Chain A
Amino acid sequence: MKNFKYITFLLFAIAAFTLGSCKKETTDPPTPVDPFENLTYIGETQAVGAGAIAKIYAEEALFVGYNRIYVALYDSANPQTQLTDGHVTFNPMMDMGMMQHSCPFEDPSTTVEPNTKAFKGSIVFIMPTTPTGSWTLNVNVHNHAINKMGVASLAINVVEKAEPKLISFVSDFDSKKLFVTLIEPTEPKVGINDITFGIYEKQSMMSFPAVDGYMMEMEPEMPSMGHGSPNNVNPVSKGNGMYTGAVNFTMTGYWKINLDFKTSSGDTIKLDQFFDVTFQ
């Protein structure tokens, strides 16, 4: 009978241990959340003439490709006060000494983001900062509170990512110079991923309008194993140069996303373009 005692004792011990570990969770007092916590601070400067300070944030350090840019405005007399009534437009400039050019961008909406109270737009940098070329982000600010306008100019650093997010080519169909950015997924995962591309045309050194209405054929591939993945959805034009679809990754590792571009009537713009996507 001694053995039964052992078992019983052991079972009780296990039960006690299991139950004992289910302690009540302690609740921490809520700490005020910094709305810019998840964003990367790029810099700040006076919007001369508008009585405002512009603080610039992005989702990560600025890179060649599609960057979401947040502009938070503060009263220059009272820097604790965030200004939400205003109008903000971009004018990014690359100065290469001999010449200057801009890049594709989308001006922020006239209303602020609910969380950050910042004005959100986007800029597609088409080259990195180099020893011979520097980027300046000019932000035109219209402060509605005092109805004054001014420009905040900030020198910024743009890096080229190890895995480029931007490709450019000349259309075989109409010789347009085109830029294509891979916008999503920013954090690829195994499984189904929403995928978004942006397409822009270089009309002049200063004008890069979004291009809609193209057709894209997409085929992900794992070059080192020679296989693709099933059930991908070709991106379709959604306006503002955005093309969305779905890409499937069956495993982690290095993937190549192959792309063919065509006009809506099926004429070839460019074949055999690709983006690399690597994740673990």
Chain B
Amino acid sequence: MKNLIQITIIVTIGMFLHSYGYTQESTAKIIINDSLKSAIDLEGVIIIGDSTSSKTEDFKSVEGQRTDEIIEDLQGVNIIRRGNYAAEPTFRGMSSGQLSMTIDGMKIFGACTDKMDPVSSYVSSNNLESITVSSNNNHACQGSNIGGGFDFQTKQAQFNSHKEISGSAGIGYQTNGNGRLADFNVNYGDSAWALNLNANYQKFDNYKAGGGQTIKYTQFEKVNFALSSNWMPSNTEILKAQFIYDDAYNVGYPALPMDVSFAGGRIYSLSYKKYFTNSTLFLKAYGNNITHIMDDTKREFVPMHMDMPGKSDTYGVFAKSEFNIGERHQILINPDYYYNVSFADMKMYPNDPNRPEEPVMYMITWPDVRRHSGSLLIQDRFTINSQTELKYSGKIEYVTSKIFSEFGIQQLEVIGKDGNIPSTYILGNGNAVLTYQMNKSTQLFGQIGYAERQPTVSEGFGYYLFNSMDGYDYIGIPDLRKETALKTSIGFNWQKDKTVLETKIYHYQFQDYIIGIVDSTYDGMTIGSNGVKVYENIPSASISGFEVKLNTTLFKTVRFQNQTQFTYGIDHQNNPLQMIPPLQNASKFGYSYKQVKIQLEAVIAAMQNNPRIDAGETTTPSYGIINISGQAPIKLLQQSTSISVSINNLFDSNYWDHLDWNSIPRPGRSFIVNLRMRF
């Protein structure tokens, strides 16, 4: 796949040279910026970034924030934290294999058997254009899944920007954890050619929890580069090349027995979009290579030193074509193919002084699983009348996974499975959303869908993967049945003047829900583990909940936003599901005068007294925290510069969320200063 990188480089350079040749003769072009954003999702597209007119813009400046902090603000979203870095997003109590995670539509599968490298960790906050979180049609393009998912859209190189070269640079400092942040962004854009280079650097030491206790192993260091270039060879075509380079070093995970010495992502793509009179065609080819190296060399009390490297390589290609049939039907056709290779192994170094000759112990935790997936999605957006629209879609996907490691196949014999047989799934997904514009200010919607997903690599092939939350080693089963769900949601959106009220309730009814069940015939492998859980399909489970969001203006000058979310999940025996967030409420007050902005944020989470005991969960007390931030312009070196100051966790509360593994307290009070210059 080095060739793909070469092609990307050649094309990027080629386009760069090409643009110089054509700059002079290029005339005004029709297309301004192709954001490639999908149509507004009824579940709510949440857009964050400085180039969009998103409503949240007034409420929070993203400067100096980290990607997972931005994600956590989204409606329906919670994050599972195992450390201070790379938190795993969950949506309505669903995580991991139930969600798909993409960057600009590209499928990326983490290389960490402990899910310590969610896709969100490969996008830096200053390169983030928007995040789409959805649970219906829109998301079907991103893979067959139950709960929907996240698409992280990165910054595009901008054509026709007001200056040929523009950009920004920022530096920041965070007192708690001695956090050092720096980033810059440069955009070159003329009418036919545009290039954007983005860089971000962060380094944090251990933070202190509320009350002053230092939380060990919360440090990390990270560097992220993103290069994207757009080229318009003609008035109706756009060619885009993209490369993301992300490295993280010495990442601590206090909730786990091991840290990460290195995590790296190399993500690259080439895409092409063509506009016809009544239709569009979009093609994209991409690849990514994710490396993850876990070890415990920095830990003090280790019974036995271990190395656990993992890698995940994904290559894919997809097309999207949109066209109209008559006046009422807008059709989307989306064929998709991807190929993923996952491999992870483990070396354990015995340290018995009586047996110095004892060799290293070795096993494979992901046995070189190679997965092919091909799918076809067809969607129709049917305008029934001026008030009513029906959007319905169907998707069929064929996925086949096979073990290519002979060693891995032998390992499977231990649990009585034949690893030579490929595991194959045919997945069907269907969804329909009806929207009805009742009157000028009120819109109602109802959605019903059926979804299926295949087991993840860990669920299907994982071999004694230790989960420090419940203290069990997990074994995957290659012939698990697919997990299916019926999902419904209804809601309304009321909008008048500057007030928006959004409410939705949802219910997911699962069948063959995949979960780890204790199997006492197995002996735990990890030192001190409680035993072994084997992934199984349980007959049923359900998740339901609601989300309410209010955006309004108080006293004519203060913007007010309130967001409430609640999720409830039970299995077939009415036991609570694991990692279900408690009732949460977040309020934001925003005041801005000229370019001065002040924001106050209050987050309250109720007690979670419904833990899944056999998953190692305990009751989590309620908490409330207050954050304050302000931003003001200053004149510095004749450039447009702004300074922002924030105080996170103003009252230095000692708290943790129900989804924080092993109840590791979150950071206490922290002052954050950020200085930004635009040019």
Partners in one complex: yes
Q: Which residues of A are in contact with B by a Cβ distance under 8 Å?
A: 1-3, 6-7, 10, 14, 189-192, 222-231, 248-254, 278-280
> Chain A residues near B415 (CB, 8 Å)?
230-231
B residues in contact with A229, CB < 8 Å: 414, 523
Q: Would you give the shortest CB distance from B218 to chain A, in whole angstroms?
A: 28
Q: Which of B6, B350, B360, B411 interacts with A191 by CB under 8 Å?
A: B411
| B414 and A191 within 8 A (CB) | yes
Residue on A nearest B14 in the bound complex, by CB: A3
CA distance A228 to B522 in the complex (A): 8
Complex contact B350–A226 (CB within 8 A) = no
Question: What is the minimal beta-carbon distance from B271 to any residue of chain A, in angstroms?
Answer: 13
* Residue picked from B3, B359, B361, B525, most chain A C-beta under 10 Å: B361
Which A residues lie within 8 Å of B523 (CB)? Answer: 227-230
Q: A253 contacts B361, CB within 8 Å?
A: yes
Is residue B309 contacting chain A, with contact meaning CB distance below 8 A?
no
B residues near A (Cβ < 8 Å) are 3, 6-7, 10-11, 14-15, 18, 233, 239, 304, 346, 348, 350-352, 355, 358-363, 407, 409-416, 463-464, 521-527
Q: How far is the CA of A192 from the CA of B416 in the complex (A)?
A: 9
- B362 near A6 (CB under 8 angstroms)? no
With A251-B362, A251-B363, A253-B361 known as contacts, the answer to whether A225 contacts B348 (CB < 8 A) is: yes
- Count chain A CB atoms within 10 A of each CB in B15, B359, B521 and give the residue with the most: B359
Partner of A254 from the list B304, B358, B521, B527 (CB cut-off 8 Å) is B358
Give the complex CA separation of A226 and B358 in angstroms: 15
Chain A nearest Cβ from B142, distance in angstroms: 27
Minimum CB–CB distance from A241 to chain B (whole Å) comes to: 28
* Given A3-B18, A224-B352, A225-B525: A250 and B414 interface contact (C-beta under 8 Å): yes
Q: How far is the CA of A2 from the CA of B13 in the complex (A)?
A: 11
A224 near B18: Cβ-Cβ < 8 Å: no
Q: How far is the CB of A7 from chain B (nearest CB, A)?
A: 6
Interface pair A6/B413, CB less than 8 Å apart = no
Say whether, besides A253-B348, A280-B362, A190 and B15 are in contact (CB < 8 Å): no
Interface pair B414/A192, CB less than 8 Å apart: yes
Cβ contact of A2, chosen from B14, B359, B522, cutoff 8 A: B14
Smallest CB separation, B152 vs chain A (Å): 27
Q: Contact partner of B527 among A6, A14, A226, A231, CB < 8 A?
A: A226
Of the candidates A10, A225, A279, A280, the one having the most CB atoms from chain B within 10 angstroms of its own CB is: A225
Q: Is the CB of A252 within 8 A of B359?
A: yes
Tell me the smallest distance from the CB of A9 to a CB of chain B, in Å. Answer: 9
Chain A residues with CB under 8 A of B526: 225
Pick from A6, A227, A231: contact of B414, CB below 8 A. Answer: A231
A253 to B415, CA, bound (A): 19
Q: Is the CB of B7 within 8 A of A7?
A: yes
Please report the C-alpha to C-alpha distance between residue A192 and residue B419 in the assembled complex, in whole angstroms: 13
Q: Is the CB of B3 within 8 A of A14?
A: yes
Contact in complex: A10, B6 (CB < 8 Å): yes
CB of B474, distance to nearest CB on chain A (Å) = 14
Contact of B360 among A14, A226, A280 (CB under 8 A): A280
- Given contacts A190-B411, A280-B360, is CB(A10)–CB(B18) below 8 Å? no
Q: How far is the CA of A250 from the CA of B360 in the complex (A)?
A: 14
Q: Write out the residue numbers on chain B whose beta carbons fall within 8 Å of the beta carbon of A249.
A: 414
Q: How far is the CA of A222 from the CA of B524 in the complex (A)?
A: 11
Q: Which 9 A-B pairs have the closest CB atoms?
A: A191-B410, A253-B361, A251-B363, A3-B14, A192-B413, A224-B350, A228-B523, A191-B413, A248-B414
Are the CB atoms of A250 and B464 closer together than 8 Å? Answer: yes
* Known contacts A192-B413, A224-B304, A251 near B15 by CB under 8 Å: no
Q: Is the CB of B363 within 8 A of A252?
A: yes
Which residue of A7, A192, A226 contacts B11 across the interface (Cβ within 8 Å)?
A: A7
CA distance A251 to B364 in the complex (A): 8
Q: How far is the CA of A222 from the CA of B410 in the complex (A)?
A: 18
On chain A, the residues within 8 Å of B525 by CB distance are: 225, 227, 250-251
Q: Closest chain B residue to A253 by CB distance?
A: B361
Contact A248-B413, Cβ < 8 Å, known A3-B11, A225-B304: yes
Query: Which of A223, A254, A279 has its CB near the most chain B CB atoms (within 10 A)?
Result: A254
What residues on A are CB-neighbors of B412 within 8 Å?
191
Q: Give the Cβ gap from B597 to chain A, nearest Cβ, in Å.
A: 44
CB contact between B355 and one of A3, A7, A251, A254 (< 8 Å): that residue: A254
Q: Whose C-beta in chain B lies nearest to the C-beta of A225? A: B527
| Whole-angstrom CA separation of A24 from B362 in the bound complex | 37
A111 → chain B closest CB, angstroms = 35
Chain B: which residue is nearest A189 at the CB level? Answer: B410
Question: Closest residue of chain A to B363, judged by CB?
Answer: A251
Complex-state Cα separation, A165 to B407, whole angstroms: 26
| Assembly CA distance A228 to B362 (angstroms) | 15
The answer for the CA separation of A189 and B413 in the assembled complex, in Å, is: 11
Question: Which one, B3, B360, B521, contacts A253 given CB within 8 A?
Answer: B360
Query: A254 CA to B233 CA in the complex, in Å?
Result: 64
The smallest C-beta distance from A230 to any residue of chain B, in angstroms, reads: 5
Q: B18 — which chain A residues lie within 8 A by C-beta?
A: 2-3
In whole angstroms, what is the CA distance A226 to B526 when docked?
Answer: 8
Closest chain B residue to A246, Cβ basis: B413
* Residue in B350, B351, B463, B526 with the greatest tally of chain A CB atoms within 10 Å: B350
- CB of B507, distance to nearest CB on chain A (Å): 39
Residues in A with CB closer than 8 Å to B351 are: 224
**Complexed CA–CA distance, A227 and B414 (Å):** 14
Q: Are B362 and A252 in contact (CB under 8 A)?
A: yes
Shortest CB-to-CB span from B436 to chain A, Å, is: 48
Inter-chain CA distance A223–B350, complex, in Å, is 10
A6 and B411 CA atoms in complex are apart in Å by 46
Q: How far is the CA of A251 from the CA of B363 in the complex (A)?
A: 5
| Cα distance, A10 to B3, chains bound together (Å) | 8
With the chains together, A2 CA to B416 CA distance in Å? 57
Are A225 and B361 in contact, with the CB atoms below 8 A?
yes
Best-surrounded residue of A14, A230, A249, A280 (most CB of chain B within 10 A):
A230
**Nearest-neighbor residue (CB-CB) of A251 within chain B:** B363
Residues of B within 8 A of A252 (CB): 359-363
Collect the chain A residues with CB atoms within 8 Å of residue B11's CB.
Answer: 3, 6-7
A105–B183 alpha-carbon span in the complex (Å): 78
Residues on A with beta carbons closer than 8 Å to the beta carbon of B407: 190
Give the chain A neighbours of B358 by CB distance below 8 A: 224, 253-254, 278
When chains A and B are docked, how far (Å) is the Cα of A109 from the Cα of B351? 48
Complex: chain B residue closest to A232, CB-CB: B414
A residues within 8 A CB of B359? 252-254, 278-280
Contacting residues, chain B, for A231 (C-beta < 8 A): 414-416, 521
Bound complex: CA of A280 vs CA of B355, how far in Å? 15
Instruction: Report the bound CA distance from A149 to B394 in whole Å.
Output: 86
Contacts of A2 in B (CB 8 A): 14, 18
**Contacts A224-B304, A225-B304, A254-B350: A230 and B522 contacting too (C-beta < 8 A)?**
yes
Q: How far is the CA of A228 from the CA of B529 in the complex (A)?
A: 13
Nearest residue, chain A, Cβ from B345: A251
* Assembly CA distance A224 to B361 (angstroms): 10
Q: Which residues of B contact A190 (CB under 8 A)?
A: 362-363, 407, 410-411, 414
Pick from A6, A191, A253: contact of B14, CB under 8 Å: A6
Quick one: closest B residue to A17, CB to CB? B3
Closest to A162 in B: B357
Q: How far is the CB of B512 from chain A (nearest CB, A)?
A: 24
Pick the contact of B411: A3, A250, A253 (CB < 8 A): A250
Q: For residue A279, which residues in chain B have a CB less than 8 angstroms away from its CB? A: 359
Whether the pair B410, A250 counts as a contact (CB closer than 8 A) is: no
Q: How far is the CB of B233 from chain A (nearest CB, A)?
A: 8
Closest to A221 in B: B523
Question: How far, in Å, is B308 (CB) from chain A's closest CB?
Answer: 13
B348 and A3 contact, CB distance less than 8 A: no
Q: Cβ of B233: which chain A residues have Cβ within 8 Å of it? A: 1
Which A residues are CB-close (under 8 A) to B413?
191-192, 248
User: Which of B6, B15, B304, B362 lies in contact with A3, CB distance below 8 A?
Assistant: B15
A-B contact pairs, 26 of them (CB 8 A): A2-B18, A10-B7, A189-B410, A190-B407, A191-B412, A191-B413, A223-B352, A224-B361, A225-B350, A225-B525, A225-B526, A227-B523, A227-B525, A229-B523, A231-B414, A250-B411, A250-B463, A251-B346, A251-B361, A251-B362, A251-B363, A251-B525, A252-B362, A253-B348, A253-B359, A254-B355
